[in-house]
Amino acid sequence: MSEFRWGLIGPGRIAHRFAQALSADFVGKLQAVASRNEARARQFASQYNCSTIYTQYENLYEAKDIDAIYIATPHNFHYEQIKAGLRAGKSVLCEKPLTVTSAQASELFTLAKKQGVFLMEAMWSLYLPAYQQVNEWIGQGQIGELKLVRSTFGYNTPKDPTDRLLNPELAGGVLLDMGVYCVATAQWLMQEQAQTISAIGQIGETGVDELTMANLGYSGQRFAQFTSNFHCQTENTLDIYGSEGRIHLPNMFWQPQQVTLIKQNSELTVRKPFAVNGFEYEIAEAEKCITQGMLESSVVTHQFTHNCLQTMESILQQVKE
């Protein structure tokens, strides 16, 4: 285990996965937990053998025994919490989406560079072993020229207007919560921002998007299509089509433990199990970058995150028209 020490803000559902992933023998440990709810902080810290809790985020930002902060609060809080952490000289790994707007992200990236500290959006899928296998196959030319990417991400979610997913004050909506995976994987595969965007969808009673469908165009006559929704369970798969074959990521494509290469006369499925739950790979990437004095990851770069946010802004603008 590395000696890296993490501070965590927002001990909610996703934070448990982060804390569990720290049991991997190649990443650091949870040093401190911060929450406005003291009981929640104490329970979380006790569950993961964490030595310190804070009820004021400022105390975590200023803590001398913290190497980096992981932020797991709802989307609308990210901007201010990241900014406070960066100003205190702390490196930050923040859950996706990094911010609600691309303008906020640009400001934070500028601040991170000024402060000389690391900042990364926690787009964990792209660091998983299965995605590294995808990258290897594409690099080897196994599917020929990349032509089309298709994905779906949808579940019939509870229609509670106070829930984070449907609450506009908490930056709710399906695109920022689920569709972000579809946008990010398409951009990662195409290695550029979408040049053309055509989107339709449905705005629910609370004013957030409950269904989004988009066609994205890229250079070289390449395209991506995706659907994300809160109304029904879809296949939740990702397919990457090339001129000579296809790569298939199965149900829950954002956390696959196997990947299949399909060609005209052959089919190969490769198992890529997690060491723990998958979060450990993005944690290891962040620790490596911070330890080496890097300000961003070479996979989820600042520009990558900014481009994804711009693409989602364009999609939402069209859906709300």
The catalytic residue positions are 96
92 three-state secondary structure = strand
**Helices H / strands E in the chain, number of each:** 10, 14
Contact 193, 301 (CB under 8 A): no
Give how far Cα 316 sits from Cα of 51, 175, 273, Å.
42, 8, 35
Strands in 237-307 per DSSP E: 238-242, 245-249, 258-263, 266-271
Q: Residues near 80 by Cβ (< 8 Å), separated by ≥ 6?
A: none
Q: Tokens 């609060």 — which residue?
A: 73
Residue of 245, 301, 306, 256 whose CA lies nearest to 278: 256
Instruction: Give me 11's structure tokens.
Output: 């001990």
What's phi and psi for 296, nearest 5 deg? -155, 160
